[in-house]
Amino acid sequence: MKSILKDTNNSEKLLNMVSDTLILMDKDGVCVDIAIHNVDLWFIKEKRLLGKNLLSLLPSNTYREFYPEFKKVLLQKTKSIRNYELTLRGRNYFFKCIMQPYGDLILCQYRDITERSQRKLELERKNRELFEIQKAALIGRWIYNANAKEFSYSGQTGIMCTEAEQSILLSDYLNFILPEDRDSFSNWLVQNLKGNMEESIDYRISLDKKVFYIRLKAFTRERYKDGNVTLEGYIQNITDIQQRRNDINLLTHAINNSTEDIFAAHEDGTLIFANRQFKLHHNLNNTDDITQLKIYEIDSYVRNEEEWKKLAVSIKNGEKKLCVTMYNPLPLYPEILAYESNAYCIISDEGEGTIWAFGRDISQRIKHEQQIKRFSQILDKTIEYLPAGIVVKDIKNNFKYLYRNRESYNREITMQEALGKDDFDFYPLEIAQEKRRQDIEIAATGQEMHWITEERDGNGQSLFLDKRKMKIESNDFSPILLNIEWDITDMELMKRELMVAKEKAETSDQLKSAFLANMSHEIRTPLNAIVGFSRIIAESENTEERKEYYNIVEANNERLLQLINEILDLSKIEARIVEFSIAPVRLYPLCKEIHDAHVFRCPSDVELIFEPSDEDIRIDSDKNRIFQVISNLIGNAFKFTTHGSISYGYHQEGENIIFHVTDTGTGIAPEKIGKVFERFVKANNFAQGTGLGLAICKTIIERLGGTISVTSELEKGTTFTFNLPAKIAKEEEKEMPETVLEESGSTTNEPKETTEKSQAIPESSLMKTILIAEDTDSNYILIKAILGKEYHLERAKDGMEAVNMFVELNPDIILMDMKMPNLGGLDATRIIRELSPDIPIIALTAFAYDHDRKAALEVGCNDFLTKPFTQEVLKETIKKWVNK
């Protein structure tokens, strides 16, 4: 059989039946040929398009999409298939255009898809409408498979359901249902699987700690050959509906239990609703049918039918009966003085009006108002005679006066005359403007303003006023501005007198501290002789007896010296001249040094323990002061510990170094533990000490940037803890001379044990010469007793003699006292240093402060010893510098 489709004679007929309209365009978009097939549109006509530039005929929106594809096909020789929208004469057309190269031309196949596109758009619109309906109604779709025991669901319920289909096993879904609803849900599902699908079911599920109300309804049941049954239906989130129902029930319960009388009635007066309080006040039982009663028949708010009708008409016409006060409204309850009532009319869809009325007992309010009026009169009289100026302004009424008493500015103006006026009515312009600026600022910020000002009274005398301005706000009234001014002239004058007295007291206190500091020299000088000669006596004949006496003398001497040092430290604290030398401190060697200094003073049956601590920690602090604090704490523990141990150490916690000293002693009574850091407070009045040590420790630690505390338990022990900033030292720590502990002023410092015995007396020809500048005979005799066997000594009794003897004798070393007649030690050292820069000069003085040491070193002293000193320290210091 001859092919019909391949027969060229049939081509035109076939093209008309199945082909698209063909348009041939040149590179500029001009239509050079057109063959119209399967389209009957007014704008697809050969006479309209042939020879025309089709690009210029396209609407701008279509052109912006079409032209890039046209150029791509033209330049890249590729094929383009796209859908376009064409808007002509206010109507939208849709067409598919297939463009492909045809030599130097472009062949376009035009296929009209307007109808199909419009159907698609309509379907999309319907789907969107359905989606929005589902979303608004919180509805979804579900299918239950009985064999799989599985729900599949999707939709817009707002809980669990989404647009994408999901599945959940029945057993898992039952876990979401509240336990009390599971049985009813399971029974409903069984009935629907059997074909009983008439009823829907409401139940609750718990999700994300919230309870939701769900309604399920099946509308399709299908049974398959294999016996499987599927159900299909809708699911709706009815939480909002149920909550509204609950709210209505709650509202009804609240109204019924309100303390107000609430009732509703038809326009003709027939009662519809009455709450419990209303029934109680009108002797109605809960079982009474109130719909058979008229409001005006029960001796209530209205007395007759005519009065009720007038009230109903006025309320229905839009008037609200607000704050209508009825006195003695209930004859059966004479204790109710008055009722305040509000009434409203609610119109139903049928146009019928329902009157709702709310009545409240205001008897208590009336009583309060009467009491307030009484108090107001009392308050007015009280304020009238107060020695204070009181002004109240209304912020929202341009700061007009609400109140002014007679003590205010312009006292001749009465309160009645001032009401309704403002500051501009009484003050000069500049003063009024400043007051208005203050008022506006306080009204805007709400910040209270308080100041004290000095003014002049009518006689030109000073007048001191304490002024306050504040904003007062309340929900009961509009904001007001309160201005109070007190005359504090007498108080201010007394305050100034007290300030003068305080300054005098502080000056006296500083003079006392200066006196104590100066007395240190006078006390230390004789003590030096006592300590020195006591040691010599102990080493002479009758050794045992003298040794016993020496121990007694030395023990009492230590206590006296401790008292002196603590009083001196206290004087510096009170005079605010506590001196600190901040430098890099290595804590481990310092604590080891403390151990070596105190281990031999430790009581018998008590062990002094330096606990393992970080050997690498260094901080910037005052080594001498840290030594002093730890030594004082250890010394304090010695007094109260008779067995066990005394341990101390440190560790780092964050930005702080934590030190502790712990003993196993008697402990501190709870009532005294909070006062141990106060001056002259002693935990045990029978123990030795002044009660100043812990107060000084607290001051030192606080000045170093730390804190100190104590914990204790009676008969178990005490722990003192203090912390210092863990600031890492940035410089290498400088080794301090052995004498630094003597210089710190701490009375707990112990001399290091001498490691070498005194050498035999050298021959006189080899003796070194020491020039001793000392004006006190006993001190010189003591030095001579200590050094006379090893060195040749020469004495100068004042500074001038010391300078002359230095020139004559050329000694090997000089011991220089600081306080001497004629010429002091500092000046003498300065002169000698000009004559010889090399001669070793050691300051030997009772002035023990850091600034004294600094002054001595600045004028040229090589070392600094304080009185009293020990034989070992003096000998070691002389030997060090003589050998150099």
pLDDT of 555-570, one tens digit each?
Answer: 566 656 666 676 666 6
More confident residue, 377 or 220: 220
Instruction: Tell me which residue of 312, 309, 338, 341 sits closest to 324, measured CA to CA.
Output: 341
**Three-state DSSP class for 92?**
strand
Domain of residue 68, CATH code:
3.30.450.20
Residue 206 and residue 232 in one domain: yes
Chain-centroid distance, C-alpha 263: 53
Confidence of residue 599 (pLDDT cuts 50, 70, 90): confident
Residue holding tokens 């300590």?
531
Q: List the Cα angle 737/864/832 in 5-degree steps.
A: 125
Ranking 29-43, 564-578, 776-790 by mean pLDDT, the lowest is 564-578
Which stretches does DSSP call E strand in 750-859?
769-773, 792-796, 813-816, 841-845
**Three-state DSSP class for 193?**
helix
548 domain-assigned = no
Helices 850-859 and 825-835, packing angle to 10 deg: 30
Residue 95 and residue 155 in one domain: no
Q: How far apart are CA 750 and CA 255, in angstroms?
A: 88
Confidence of residue 261 (pLDDT cuts 50, 70, 90): confident
Instruction: Tell me which residue of 94, 101, 64 sits closest to 79, measured CA to CA.
Output: 101
Residue 614 and residue 712 in one domain: yes
Confidence of residue 277 (pLDDT cuts 50, 70, 90): confident
Residue 706 scores a pLDDT above 60: yes
More confident residue, 543 or 337: 337
pLDDT in tens, 213-250: 999 999 899 999 888 999 999 898 888 888 888 777 78
475 domain-assigned = yes
Cα 271 to Cα 290, 298, 725: the distances in Å are 6, 11, 82
Domain count for the chain: 6
> What percent of the chain has a predicted confidence (pLDDT) above 70?
81
Domain boundary pick from 487, 512, 538:
487
Confidence of residue 380 (pLDDT cuts 50, 70, 90): confident
Measured between alpha carbons, how far apart are the two ends of the chain, in Å? 138
> Prior bond to 868 cis, omega within 30?
yes
CB 312 within 8 A of CB 267: yes
With residues binned 3-state (H G I as helix, E B as strand, rest as coil), the percentages for the chain, rounded to 5, are: 40, 25, 30
Q: State the average pLDDT over residues 179-189.
A: 93
- For the beta sheet containing 863-866, the strands, ordered from the edge strand earlier in sequence to the opposite edge, are 792-796, 769-773, 813-816, 841-845, 863-866
Residue 763 scores a pLDDT above 50: no
Confidence of residue 756 (pLDDT cuts 50, 70, 90): very low
pLDDT in tens, 118-162: 787 778 787 777 777 777 778 888 999 999 999 999 888 888 888
pLDDT in tens, 296-319: 888 777 778 888 888 888 877 765
Which pLDDT belongs to residue 843?
94
- For the beta sheet containing 321-327, the strands, ordered from the edge strand earlier in sequence to the opposite edge, are 271-274, 261-266, 353-361, 338-347, 321-327
CB-based contacts of 170, cutoff 8 Å, min separation 6: 144, 149, 150, 151, 189
Query: How many residues are present in the chain?
Result: 884
Confidence of residue 851 (pLDDT cuts 50, 70, 90): confident
More confident residue, 137 or 209: 209
Residue 391 scores a pLDDT above 90: no
Q: State the average pLDDT over residues 817-837.
A: 91
Is 731 exposed, middle or buried, given 0-12, 13-18 or 19+ CB atoms closer than 10 A?
A: exposed
Residue 171 scores a pLDDT above 50: yes
Domain boundary pick from 72, 87, 120:
120
Q: State the average pLDDT over residues 691-712.
A: 86
Residue 645 scores a pLDDT above 90: yes
Confidence of residue 28 (pLDDT cuts 50, 70, 90): very high
- For the beta sheet containing 656-663, the strands, ordered from the edge strand earlier in sequence to the opposite edge, are 606-610, 644-653, 656-663, 717-725, 707-713
Confidence of residue 795 (pLDDT cuts 50, 70, 90): very high
Which range among 13-17, 201-205, 779-783 has the greatest average pLDDT?
201-205
When the pLDDT of each residue in the chain is averaged and rounded to a whole number, the result is 81
338-347 and 229-237 as β-strands: parallel, antiparallel, unpaired?
unpaired
Instruction: Tell me which residue of 195, 196, 212 sits closest to 204, measured CA to CA.
Output: 212
Residue 223 and residue 306 in one domain: no
846 domain-assigned = yes
Q: State the average pLDDT over residues 629-656.
A: 91
Confidence of residue 739 (pLDDT cuts 50, 70, 90): very low
pLDDT in tens, 412-458: 566 677 778 888 887 888 888 988 999 999 999 989 989 888 877 65
Which pLDDT belongs to residue 181?
93
552 domain-assigned = no
146 domain-assigned = yes
More confident residue, 616 or 14: 616
Which pLDDT belongs to residue 182?
93
Which pLDDT belongs to residue 533?
64
Residue 344 scores a pLDDT above 50: yes
Residue 747 scores a pLDDT above 50: no
Q: State the average pLDDT over residues 383-387.
A: 69
Residue 584 and residue 733 in one domain: yes
Q: State the average pLDDT over residues 17-26.
A: 81
Amino acid symbol at 131: F
Residue 797 scores a pLDDT above 60: yes
Residue 222 and residue 78 in one domain: no
More confident residue, 341 or 152: 152
558 domain-assigned = no
Residue 336 scores a pLDDT above 50: yes
More confident residue, 399 or 575: 399
Q: State the average pLDDT over residues 329-335.
A: 77
Residue 752 scores a pLDDT above 70: no
Instruction: Tell me which residue of 148, 198, 156, 195 sits closest to 173, measured CA to CA.
Output: 148
Domain of residue 821, CATH code:
3.40.50.2300
More confident residue, 877 or 747: 877
Residue 650 scores a pLDDT above 50: yes
> What percent of the chain has a predicted confidence (pLDDT) above 90?
30
Domain boundary pick from 87, 120, 153:
120
504 domain-assigned = no
Domain of residue 668, CATH code:
3.30.565.10
Which pLDDT belongs to residue 743?
39
Cα 26 to Cα 71, 103, 869: the distances in Å are 11, 10, 121
Q: How far apart are CA 234 and CA 219, in angstroms?
A: 8
Q: List the Cα angle 620/744/840 in 5-degree steps.
A: 100
- Torsion angle, alpha carbons of 685, 689, 692, 695, to 10: -70
CB 743 within 8 A of CB 864: yes
Residue 721 and residue 785 in one domain: no
Q: How far apart are CA 244 and CA 714, in angstroms?
A: 68
746 domain-assigned = no
Contacts 24+ apart (CB under 8 A), 84-87: 85/61, 86/58, 86/59, 86/62, 87/59, 87/61, 87/62
Q: In terms of residue numbers, what domain contains 867?
A: 764-883
More confident residue, 120 or 499: 499
Residue 603 and residue 695 in one domain: yes
Residue 733 and residue 610 in one domain: yes
Residue 199 and residue 292 in one domain: no
Contacts 24+ apart (CB under 8 A), 704-711: 704/580, 704/621, 704/622, 704/625, 704/626, 706/656, 708/677, 710/668, 710/673, 710/676, 710/677, 711/673
CB-based contacts of 134, cutoff 8 Å, min separation 6: 140, 155, 156
Residue 351 and residue 422 in one domain: no
Residue 607 and residue 677 in one domain: yes
